[in-house]
Homo-oligomer: A and B are copies of this chain.
């Protein structure tokens, strides 16, 4: 059976290996160190760096495809691999839209897709451009690093013009190019996950609602509650069209805003398994990790139907101070209280706000969405902090 190589040894690669096992395969990973989440669980590990061409060549050797658990590989190295005959998926021409927000914004605008007004802040006129854009949008502006931002890093919400100029000045000094976007008056955030194979088959999962805290995904509700059929179809159509026109291979998350006036606005693209797709591991017929493999292997895609009326995913984050109770013991108490909780742990050290696992709660028929969400969030909070949000005493002491 074929071998797929994944650049990056994080939790996305770890869970992709889990899916590879069922397909009679194993995942090869390029990991920075032997204790990364994926390197701990697959024997096929190449230790090296994602920005070293020789390391990339080593992990690609003999693999039918090279794919990614992050968007950090420099574009020139990807082109070099392709020139040497490596099957890089998604291809660099597609991946650039998930790496470079300026390229993405321009392309989506040209396609006539709903994006906020934006402007690149580069060159000697950058500050003048920012001042003008800021005035034009009554200060409702967000600044973003064009490359490299994720999970709230590389995104700034300036309080006023002075603050905005200060962010720009710092980033010019750091050599981090920025763009400015108009802030969207949003009702909530959505994600439309799609997969596409080289053959051209596309498949979308139900559109989900994502809840962000401190700039990163905290909770996902699948499918998005009370989303109109019209907006759901619109979001899925955007995802399928983008996957096709950009030439994506693998899974892609299209992160969207549902605006207060009932429209969609595209926020970000991610061309890899994505936090907003973790619910699918337990809540869909085919999970995103298997689907990503199927796509890069050019297998026919799997059925993306939801298996329940509602599934809620909540991230387990490292607490501000790691609890004294071990993760093992926390797991014990969670299982005692919620025998149906689906726990996914990444074997990562606990640092504040770091994603170290997630919990899926799959609702039973007729379950109330809010109740399922409450259980998922309670479970994740417990696993983070060893504190039950409702005061439950896990030892039943009086």
Contact = CB atoms under 8 A, between A and B. Distances in A.
Contact of A299 (B20, B21, B26, B331): B331
Contacts of A302: 335, 339-340
B43 A300 contact: no
A74 interface: no
Contacts of A1: 327-328, 331, 345, 347
Contacts of A328: 1-2
A332 B1 CA distance: 12
A170 to B, nearest CB: 38
A26 B43 contact: no
Contacts of A45: 43
Nearest to A332: B299
B24 A336 contact: no
Contact of A42 (B2, B43, B345): B43
Contact of A362 (B2, B25, B285, B332): B285
A336 B300 contact: yes
Interface in A250-277: none
Contact of A303 (B299, B332, B340): B340
A323 to B, nearest CB: 15
Interface string A12-43: 00110110111111100000000000011111
Interface string A341-361: 011111100000000010000
Interface string A293-321: 01000111111010100000000000000
Given A23-B331, A327-B24, A339 B303 contact: yes
Given A41-B43, A43-B45, A362-B285, A332 B300 contact: yes
A286 interface: yes
A344 B22 contact: yes
Interface string A168-192: 0000000000000000000000000
Contact of A18 (B18, B285, B299, B346): B18
Classify chain A's interface size: 35 or more
B24 A345 contact: yes
Contact of A357 (B24, B335, B362): B24
A340 B285 contact: yes
Nearest to A26: B41
A311 to B, nearest CB: 12
A18 B344 CA distance: 11
B26 A40 contact: yes
Nearest to A305: B340
Contacts of A41: 17, 20-21, 26, 42-43
Given A2-B328, A328-B1, A362-B285, A300 B21 contact: no
Contacts of A331: 1, 23-24, 299
A309 to B, nearest CB: 11
Contact of A343 (B2, B23, B305): B23
A199 to B, nearest CB: 10
11 contacts: A18-B22, A20-B41, A22-B342, A23-B331, A24-B357, A25-B345, A26-B40, A26-B41, A43-B43, A285-B340, A300-B336
